[in-house]
Amino acid sequence: MSWSTPRSLAVAGIVLALLFGLGTLGLFVVDAGATETEPVPFDETVTVGLTSETAATLDENVSLPRVQVFYSQYRYVTGYYGVGTYADVSSQPGHDAQFGYPMAVHVTDYAGTGIRLDEDGYPAPMRTPGWVAADEAVYVVESDARSPDGGATVPFSNRGEAEAFVHDHGGEVVDWETALDRSEERSGAESVRKSVDDRRVQADTEVDSRTQLLDEEARPVSVVVGEDADTIQAAVDAAEPNTTVVVPPGTYEEHVEIDRPITLVGVDGNGSRVHLSGDGNGTVIRITADRAAVAGVAISGVGNETRDPDAVPTDAWDANVELGYGHGDAGIAAVDAADVLIAGVAVDTPANGILLRDSPGAVVRDVDVVGADEWLDGFMGVMVMRSPAVVENSTFAGGRDGVYTHRSHGAVVRNNSMDGMRYGVHLMHTDDALIADNVVRGGAFGGITIMTDPAGNAIVGNDVTNSSTGISPSGSDVYVAENVLVDNDRGMSTATRTSLYEHNVLANNDVGARVSSILPTNRIVANDFVGNERHVYASGIGPLRIWTHDGAGNYWDGALGDLDGVNEPGDATTLSREYVATDPVDERLGRTAGATTLARSPAVGALRSLSDAVPGLKTGGVVDVAPRGSPANPEVLERAKLLEWIDDTETAADTGSEKTEDRTEEER
């Protein structure tokens, strides 16, 4: 390939500009003895270990143990909630390569504060703690002191006060190194990965329990509409608890309130269906009793209010969210009603399809919700507020979001189909949820989005296409795995902390992954990047991020290098040349004419050798030091008809050319 092509010259210009411009960037590598590193206010650090919601709910007198660290290769002071958090994160493979060494470590000093423990066991000192160098403090471990995620290691600059604390609250006084060894290990994303099967089983158990509400032996028929009562509401009012109300086929124009534990079931006869129509105002079916069930009805005539003007504001921190999202009209609304079942229901709605508020244990399954054509005009397919629920096997079209949750920890959203809305799945302030095996198409703002600062969520096995961002999680300890993200503006975002991204396929997106996390604490490994216009985009300068773990990396179509040994696990061959996903040359490999020739040039080789020798030169980049020589997920790629694309690209690279033309619709 000739160097004289305009595109080749442009790439060469970028490389030369980078080569000569590096001297002005600063290396962010400071000699340990070159400067004093005094403690800073903790709210000026980049923090790890406590979600924003948990922090907001702590009593104002609580002051949890904290650690702040100045690193040689990281431009920000890093703040850790707890010695255990620091011990766990700093011991992760690749941590030193990305952060450098700790130039100074300071810990909370409870000496002289009049420390006591509140009713939850949280440290609540009478005076604001100061800071002490970590290796100059002593630590009380295994005492009665607690933190939101378990035990707390309590530092003191004075051994006498530490021993007095042990006298009052138990435990043992140890030095810094012993405290690191004895600190409780955080559960982390590895634990979330291990919990996925358990979460599935727990969801199965919930579904089995709720579907028993449809068992006519457990709930015999007590009232039949049209025979024993003229209206559905009259039938509900006449029904004994733990019985079934049967609604024959037909159209019923009324609103219904279910205030007792009964099952309301529509009977489908001769192709006709039970149709319940409101008058265009308010909610059509309201459930206010535990263990109530609704099945087999189609609902229309829902009101168009997305807020309840009569809702009473509270002084809770999330009052505005509740008033803005947790009220309004719905086809079916369950409020203060635990363990309800909504199954086999179709809703045509300009507002919510199903609304759950303070209704834990709900199961919503086999529902079909059609919302507004324009998402700005509609609302949620299923609105879930403070209601851990299972939403499964359902279809959502139009409206604002398919499933929206708020403070519904442990919710499960699985095996649903969502099309043509703002977000398919949208989590807010929700921890420990499982979002699995959903199909999302046409998310105007995104396919699956987790906002705020939650922890412990799992996003597994989803298929997102033609959306703004396929998967966009936030928070910490998130597990993102086995998802297929194709033909999106951005395949996924990695704006999380201490999270694990593995075995995802990111193909034919404008950008495979957008990196905006300010802390390089995520593990991103065994993913396949195929046919993206740009595999990775890193916003801002940011830190160095190494997307390799335990000698294994990701697959990048277009990456150069000879096969070099065997990776574990999976016996995957490794390329001899590292892949810098944000490098102006590497990111064009396989897509821009001349990039392969330029990547093999002596000038680029010299620049890479220089950056290897001086780690600070890689600041802001995404580097895979052990890129895979073959895809990590060939079965998924084969189903997506992407293996042929990879083969064609590799053949073109072997012959010194690049495949730059777009794939046909058939190839996609």
Q: Does residue 187 surpass a pLDDT of 90?
A: no
Most confident of 49-63, 173-187, 620-634: 620-634
Q: Does residue 84 surpass a pLDDT of 70?
A: yes
Handedness of CA 205, 206, 211, 215 (dihedral sign): positive
Q: What is the mean pLDDT of residues 436-464?
A: 96
Query: Mind listing the pLDDT tens digit for each residue in 21-54?
Result: 333 332 223 344 445 689 999 989 988 888 877 8
Rounded CA-CA distance 323/312 in Å is: 8
With cut-offs at 50, 70 and 90, classify the pLDDT of residue 16: very low
* Helical segments of 561-633, H only: 595-599, 602-613
Strands 401-406 vs 389-392: parallel, antiparallel or unpaired: unpaired
Listed range (58-62, 338-342, 466-470, 664-668) with the worst mean pLDDT: 664-668
What pLDDT is recorded for position 663? 39
> Cβ of 431: how many Cβ atoms within 10 Å?
22
Rounded CA-CA distance 406/387 in Å is: 8
What pLDDT is recorded for position 185? 58
Query: Mind listing the pLDDT tens digit for each residue in 610-654?
Result: 555 554 445 568 999 999 999 999 988 887 777 665 655 555 444
Query: Mind listing the pLDDT tens digit for each residue in 373-427?
Result: 999 999 999 999 999 999 999 999 999 999 999 999 999 999 999 999 999 999 9
Residue 92 half-sphere exposure toward CB, CA atoms < 13 A = 28
Reduce the DSSP state of residue 155 to 3 states and report it.
Answer: strand
CB 667 within 8 A of CB 645: yes
Query: Containing H/E element for 323?
Result: helix 319-325
What pLDDT is recorded for position 380? 97
Amino acid sitting at position 260: R
Rounded CA-CA distance 426/406 in Å is: 9
CB 345 within 8 A of CB 394: no
Distances (CA, A) of 668 to 441, 638, 640: 15, 11, 8
With cut-offs at 50, 70 and 90, classify the pLDDT of residue 589: confident
Reduce the DSSP state of residue 525 to 3 states and report it.
Answer: strand
Distances (CA, A) of 239 to 36, 100, 235, 334, 465: 77, 70, 6, 19, 47
What pLDDT is recorded for position 34? 44
The pLDDT > 90 percentage for the chain reads 64
Reduce the DSSP state of residue 129 to 3 states and report it.
Answer: coil
CB 532 within 8 A of CB 491: yes
What pLDDT is recorded for position 611? 59
Strands 138-141 vs 130-133: parallel, antiparallel or unpaired: unpaired
What pLDDT is recorded for position 542? 64
What pLDDT is recorded for position 603? 66
What pLDDT is recorded for position 647? 58
With cut-offs at 50, 70 and 90, classify the pLDDT of residue 17: very low
Residue 356 backbone zone (phi > 0: left; psi -120 to 50: alpha; other: beta)? beta
What pLDDT is recorded for position 145? 96
Residue that the structure tokens 């802390």 belong to = 519
Q: Which two tokens stand for residue 79?
A: 């703040």
DSSP 582: T
Reduce the DSSP state of residue 386 to 3 states and report it.
Answer: coil
Residues 6+ apart with CB under 8 A from 47: 78, 79, 80, 81
What pLDDT is recorded for position 577? 87
Tell me which of 617 and 76 has the higher pLDDT. Answer: 76
Amino acid sitting at position 86: Y
Using the CB atoms, write b or e for 621-655: b if 16+ within 10 Å: bbbbbbbbbbbbbeebbeebebbebbeebbebbee
What pLDDT is recorded for position 592? 74
Q: Does residue 502 surpass a pLDDT of 80?
A: yes
Amino acid sitting at position 182: R
Query: Mind listing the pLDDT tens digit for each residue in 109-165?
Result: 999 999 999 999 999 999 999 999 999 999 999 999 999 888 899 999 999 999 999
What pLDDT is recorded for position 227? 96
Q: How many angstroms separate the first and last alpha carbons of the chain?
A: 28
Using the CB atoms, write b or e for 198-229: b if 16+ within 10 Å: ebbeebeebbeebeebbeeeebeebbebeeeb
> Cβ of 269: how many Cβ atoms within 10 Å?
11
Residue 650 half-sphere exposure toward CB, CA atoms < 13 A = 15
Q: Which two tokens stand for residue 460?
A: 């597994």
Distances (CA, A) of 410 to 201, 326, 455: 13, 18, 11
Rounded CA-CA distance 511/514 in Å is: 7
With cut-offs at 50, 70 and 90, classify the pLDDT of residue 478: very high
Partners of 223 in the β-ladder: 245
Distances (CA, A) of 581 to 457, 544, 554: 27, 11, 11
Q: What is the mean pLDDT of residues 602-606?
A: 66
Query: Mind listing the pLDDT tens digit for each residue in 270-320?
Result: 667 799 999 999 999 999 999 999 999 999 999 999 988 777 777 777 888
DSSP 497: B
What pLDDT is recorded for position 184? 64
Listed range (5-14, 381-390, 478-487) with the worst mean pLDDT: 5-14
Rounded CA-CA distance 634/631 in Å is: 6
Burial of 559 (C-beta count, 10 Å sphere; 0-12/13-18/19+): buried
Rounded CA-CA distance 500/186 in Å is: 14
- SS3 assignment for 389-437: EEEECCEEECCCEEEEEECCCCCEEECCEEEEEEEEEEEECCCCCEEEC
Distances (CA, A) of 221 to 213, 214, 273: 12, 10, 19
CB 68 within 8 A of CB 45: yes
Residue that the structure tokens 């000093």 belong to = 109
Distances (CA, A) of 524 to 545, 625, 643: 10, 12, 22
What pLDDT is recorded for position 4? 35
Listed range (451-460, 493-502, 595-604, 618-627) with the worst mean pLDDT: 595-604
Rounded CA-CA distance 165/146 in Å is: 14
What pLDDT is recorded for position 260? 98
What pLDDT is recorded for position 657? 43
Q: Which of 144, 172, 177, 142 is nearest to 159 (CA)?
A: 172
Q: Which two tokens stand for residue 652?
A: 């073109």
* Helical segments of 186-249, H only: 188-211, 232-238
CB 342 within 8 A of CB 367: yes
Q: What is the mean pLDDT of residues 445-469?
A: 96
On the question of a cis peptide bond just before residue 123, with omega within 30 degrees of 0, the verdict is no
Q: Which two tokens stand for residue 662?
A: 């777009």
Amino acid sitting at position 473: P
Listed range (49-58, 228-237, 335-344, 386-395) with the worst mean pLDDT: 49-58
Q: Which of 61, 104, 60 is nearest to 86 (CA)?
A: 104
Query: Containing H/E element for 21?
Result: helix 6-21
Q: What is the pTM of this model?
A: 0.86
- Per the prediction, the chain carries an average pLDDT of 86
Q: Which two tokens stand for residue 214?
A: 């449809």
Rounded CA-CA distance 89/80 in Å is: 9
Q: Does residue 567 surpass a pLDDT of 50?
A: no
Q: Which two tokens stand for residue 451?
A: 């906002």
Q: Does residue 529 surpass a pLDDT of 80?
A: yes
Residues 6+ apart with CB under 8 A from 7: 592, 593, 594
